[in-house]
Structure 1
Amino acid sequence: MLRCSVLVLCMVVAAKLQNDPAGQQILLFKEKTKGPIGVMTTSAGAPIEYKDARVTLNSKLIFNEYFMDSLTHLNRERIPERVVHAKAGGAFGYFEVTHDVTSICKAKLFATVGKRTPVAARFSPVVQERGGIDTSRDARGFAVKFYTEEGNFDIVGLSTPMFVIKDPLLFPTFVRAQKRNPATNLFDSNTLWDFLTLQPESLHMFLLIFGDRGIPDGYRYMPGFSIHTFEVLNEPGEKSFVRFHFTPTAGIKNLRSEEARKIAAVDPDYATRDLYRAIGNGNFPSWKVSIQVLSLNDVKNAGFDVFDVTKVLPLDDYPLIPVGIFVLNKNPVNYFAEIEQLAFSPANLVPGILGGPDKLFEARRLAYRDAEYYRLGANFNKIPVNCPIQVKLMDYNRDGKPPVKDNGKDTPNYYPNSFNGAEPYHDEKRTELIEIFQDEPNNFQQATELYVNEMTSDERSRLVQNILYSLGPVAKFLQDRAVKLLTIIHPDLGNRIAEGLAANRTNYYKNYDDRLFNYN
């Protein structure tokens, strides 16, 4: 009987492997090439003789160019990883307009219903390092690059509809509080909860992270949000303000904590593998693209800062307007070239989309550019995956660290000039990004609404369990601060956490009685 069960299990595994483009990639390459693809060469193009490629014993190493070429390159193969969003999955596809929004935004990627624009997408846990797991409890990056005929437009968003801080001055603090303790080189819940309780505006986002949406079931079932409220213009020059939403057409699915831990033990690359496998099998993931739209009058009369990234725009007041769909139908051919070097920036804007007037957006325009200079060099936009493929470049940047491509050939390298170099265009209806005043962050009200109106009883119980799992090991003074703040969000939440901590049941806290909760 046991032998039969093992045989059946082996047959099931074999069947899965036969239909697994991720696991079978190297075998599929062998099948389609039908023999060696050519003669090995050095990086300078010289053919390599068989003996040089197979053995160095009893020969002079420095005369073996294959050995010298490959060994010295190995020491230089790693570029600096991203400080956050280091690990990722990604793919390519298209965005298709399904609804006319030209009355709101004149950007050419929205010009006509049915129009398709090539896109690249990258999905990534925030805190995980490059060798980390895909099933951590964390927010995820949701970044989309639109290769439009007016240049690249990037939405560098998240899997949550809000961000953790309003003031960009706190971003380095937030990142360091989540990263490894500099003394122990271990992740430390004390530093995370120190940050969360010192900056309580962060709790709105972390209610989602500690809730059921904290661990997406792969990237195909994960929503995306632009976070920022963008200022956009239509053809007559009229202003509107929009937030972008990406909703997976297959539905939103998430993992529970125990299930995620089990997956991490056997497949730390779960989400990356799932995305590659689905696309390879022709099961192309897609997302409905919608916008929330505000007029200038709406902005003035909203009663709160609509540019505050720690807040959401209520859907009842600003309903979703459909725009299009984006589909991923092509896996990367080479991960490093196409995903690791894929560089996003909120500064990548096109005519008709002015960006966000908030300080965080302004800071991200600097931070992302600086990160790419550090990781990829000053010519990072000349790396093929970052090139605006529908535009002929006419910039005045020259030289620097490769790639430089044709380096501007023989054209003038400064502006203005008298020798027929490229000229800027004139926009008679040019409009500057509005200037706003932003007050101190305070979003307890929205956090309360999330807890009361958007979570079921079971979801609240799991939220409590997950908070206790994280908060249980930290110092008591931090626990006390957390309880005080969570009680402000709702007394029921604070009481549950306080009682769970007192009972020392962090790892086994289940199904707390909901009798204290006021549903009205």
Structure 2
Amino acid sequence: MTQEAYVTQGPLTTEAGAPVADNQNSETAGVGGPVLIQDQSLLEKLAHFNRERIPERVVHARGAGAYGTFTLTRDVSRWTRAAFLSEVGKQTETFLRFSTVAGNLGSADAVRDPRGFALKFYTEDGNYDLVGNNTPVFFIKDAIKFPDFIHTQKRDPYTGSQEADNVWDFWGLSPESTHQVTWLFGDRGIPATLRHMNGYGSHTYQWNNAAGEIFWVKYHFKTDQGIKNLTQEEANKLAGEDPDSHQRDLRQAIEAGDFPSWTVQVQIMPAAEAANYRFNPFDLTKVWPHEDYPPIEIGKLELNRNPENVFAEVEQSIFSPAHFVPGIGPSPDKMLQGRLFAYGDAHRYRVGINADHLPVNRPHATEARTNSRDGFLYDGRHKGAKNYEPNSFGGPFQTDKPLWSATAVSGATGTHEAPGHAEDSDFVQAGNLYRLMSEDEKSRLIENLAGFIAKVSRDGIAERAVNNFRQADGDFGKRLEAAVQALRG
């Protein structure tokens, strides 16, 4: 489905198509008199202007995006029956939205914050959304903690500012965050551009093949431009001088034909290995070590077309991890399970119940056939078709072919913690990451963390925060403690 070209020539009209006689002067009761309510051109303009913005995203409000193509370079049919992954050389149109997490719509790009990496594949079986970040892990492992976490990153309801007390109080009381915080305050915490950073699916997903076999998979998007980052000082300067630096860089690169690309890799775990793996493979705060499951290159992602309107295509774009296609499905990852509901619910509130009808969101390689009708911005696309199933009038019908394979469950319902594994520590991988760093990288990490922790008002919050890093690595904690104490006097 394509949009009709917008006609720019000819008389200016109202939204209803009537010509506008005067777009410079409001209608008044005589020269210098009060404005008349019968000036419908004026009222229509003002009313539309008042409604030009929709509520910004609670998280990931600040974003940029571009269209592109995904090209499959390896046969993966032994692991998945997904049609867009069925043939080497096959290309699928995509739309990728980058974003910061905590900042509002008007915030600066060059800040220390994870970056959203939300990718929509317009496949022949419908849209597949892979909603990830530029880090392979996250701060928490259960969606029930997500609103609390985001409240600590956003403006305090009393002060109206982000408060170090709130951030470090929550992180200190949530040891599982230690790994992601180490990532965030390391060198990769502030990418130089959106083109010079990796992307990750972060969650574990299910792939299932034609025989119904299940595999657990993690996605990696490795930048072909190379990793480039900003120091805190460089970022502070750039954010003040050019708040739109990342958005401008991406747009201008594509305009110049310098199309950014990423090499796409997956880690694949046979389902039978999950139960006895050394840690919970569905824990979003942990990575799968490459020596256990080496990344396998499967394709190339290229961005090659800019949106024509940022609001229509970037702000109104919607992504949901619940948008699966045959051959791909969810895992028991408790953060993912919560996001399956939360993302769609956010879009229904923010953009509207018919958000999927917008050109950027609707399928491009197939056509959606549903029995949903009416609601805000409904366009009447179904005409006289019946809106129920089954029916005898040639309406759409169920396939009896599930998108993903069933997984076994057992036990009583309840608010359970995830199943325990031998190495389910909140600190091991944070310590491993620290020990992989060079001495210069460690020094910058300590400086970045200490500068933020030193801002908290209570010694107990600072001490608890430092103690989490001490448990990850003794040297890490010792150096961080000294740096915080020096700053706090």
TM-score w.r.t. the length of structure 1 is: 0.87
Secondary structure at the aligned position of 2:218 is classed as strand
Question: Which residue in the other structure is 2:170 paired with?
Answer: 195
CA distance in 1, matches of 2:299, 2:164: 41
Structure 1 partner of 2:288: 313
Which residue is equivalent to 1:45? 17
Shift of 1:362: 1.3
The reply on whether 1:269 has 2:244 as its aligned counterpart is: yes
Unaligned runs of 5+ residues in structure 2 are: 1-5, 411-416
Question: Which amino acid is 1:311 matched to?
Answer: K
Q: 1:438 aligns with which of 418, 428, 434?
A: 418
Distance (whole Å) between structure 2 residues aligned to residue 174 and residue 308 of structure 1: 17
Q: 1:36 to 1:296 in 2, by over 3 A?
A: closer
Higher relative helix content: 1
Name the structure 1 match of 2:3: none
SS of the residue corresponding to residue 37 of structure 2 reads helix
Aligned residue number for residue 465 of structure 2: 482
Deviations 1:268-318 (A, max 9, x none): 111011000100111001111110011123323321111111100001111
* 1:90-489 matches, cutoff 5 A: 90-402=65-377, 404-427=378-401, 431-435=405-409, 438-439=418-419, 442-452=425-435, 454-474=436-456, 475-489=458-472
Three-state SS of the structure 1 residue aligned to 2:356 is helix
* 2:195 counterpart SS class: helix
Distance (Å, rounded) in 2 between the aligned partners of 1:504 and 1:469: 7
Distance 2:485 2:233 in 1: 23
CA contact (8 A) 1:97 1:323 kept: yes
Deviation sequence 1:436-482 (CA, Å, 0-9, x none): 88247632111111111x21111000000000111011021111111
Query: Relative to 1, partners in 2 of residues 1:283 and 1:150: Cα closer, same or farther, differing over 3 Å?
Result: same
What is the rounded CA distance, in whole Å, between the counterparts of 2:83 and 2:25 in structure 1?
Answer: 55
> In structure 1, how many angstroms separate the alpha carbons of the residues matched to 2:38 and 2:407?
61
Q: CA 1:55/1:430 → structure 2, altered by over 3 Å: closer, same or farther?
A: closer
Q: Post-superposition shift, 1:55? A: 5.0
% of aligned pairs identical?
Answer: 43
Give 1:89 deviation, angstroms: 0.8
**SS of 1:384's equivalent?**
coil
Cα distance between partner residues in 1 of 2:72 and 2:409: 31
CA contact (8 A) 1:61 1:67 kept: no
Provide the TM-score with structure 2 as the length reference: 0.93
Please state how far the C-alpha of 1:241 moved relative to its aligned partner.
1.1
Structure 1 residues 99 and 299: alpha-carbon distance in aligned structure 2, compared to 1, 3 A threshold = same
C-alpha distance after superposition, 1:360-400 (max 9, x if no partner)? 11110110011001101111111111101211221010111
Displacement of 1:434 in angstroms is 4.9
Deviation at 1:130, TM superposition (A): 0.2
More off after superposition, 283-292 vs 495-504 = 495-504
Letter in structure 2 aligned against 1:473: K
Residues of 2 paired with 1:421 and 1:433: CA distance?
A: 31
2:342 match: secondary structure: helix
Structure 2: distance between partners of 1:434 and 1:281: 51
1:505 positional shift: 7.0
In the alignment, the residues of structure 1 paired with residue 284 and residue 470 of structure 2 have an alpha-carbon distance, to the nearest angstrom, of 23
* Conserved? CA contact 1:61–1:68, under 8 Å: no
User: Distance between the aligned counterparts of 1:280 and 1:290, measured in 2?
Assistant: 27
Read off the aligned partner of 2:382 and give its amino acid letter.
G
- The Cα offsets for residues 219-269 of structure 1, whole Å up to 9 and x where unpaired, read as 001111111111111112211111000011111111111000010111011
CA distance in 2, matches of 1:467, 1:167: 25
Query: Relative contact order, CA 8 A, sep 6+: which one is greater?
Result: 2
1:432 partner letter: A
Q: CA deviation at 1:72?
A: 1.2
CA–CA distance in structure 1, aligned partners of residues 55 and 99 of structure 2: 16
Q: Which moved more, 1:168-177 or 1:421-430?
A: 421-430
Equivalence for 1:17: none
Q: 1:65 pairs with 25, 40, 60, which one?
A: 40
C-alpha distance in 2 between matches for 1:423 and 1:297: 34
The one-letter amino acid paired with 1:152 is N
Q: 1:435 to 1:273 in 2, by over 3 A?
A: farther
Q: Does structure 2 conserve the Cα–Cα contact (< 8 Å) formed by 1:357 and 1:434?
A: no
Measured after TM superposition, the shift of residue 410 of structure 1 is 1.2
Structure 1 range deviating more: 113-122 or 385-394: 385-394
Counterpart mapping for 1:11-90 below 5 A = 37-49=9-21, 51-54=22-25, 56=27, 58=31, 60-90=35-65
Whole-Å separation in 2 of the counterparts to 1:477 and 1:430: 48
Q: 1:467 corresponds to which letter in structure 2?
A: L
- How far does the alpha carbon of each residue in 1:41-86 deviate from its partner, in whole angstroms, 9 at most, with x for none? 111111111x343455637432333211111111111111100100
Residue 417 of structure 1 deviates from its aligned partner by 2.7
SS at match of 1:37: coil
* Cα-Cα RMSD: 1.9
> Following the alignment from structure 1 to structure 2, what is the Cα–Cα distance between the partners of residues 429 and 136?
39
Structure 2 vs 1, CA of residues 76 and 502 (structure 1 numbering), >3 Å: closer, same or farther?
same
- For 1:405, give the aligned amino acid: D
Which whole-Å CA distance do the structure 2 matches of 1:76 and 1:434 have between them? 48
Q: How many pairs are equivalent? A: 470
Q: Is 2:72–2:88's contact at 8 Å kept on the other side of the alignment?
A: yes
Displacement of 1:419: 3.3
8 A Cα contact 2:329 2:404, kept in partner: no
Assess if the C-alpha contact under 8 Å between 2:83 and 2:124 holds in 1: yes
Structure 2 counterpart of 1:348, which letter?
H
Query: SS of 1:122's equivalent?
Result: strand
SS in 2 for 1:62: coil
Kept after mapping to 1: 8 A contact 2:122/2:365 = yes
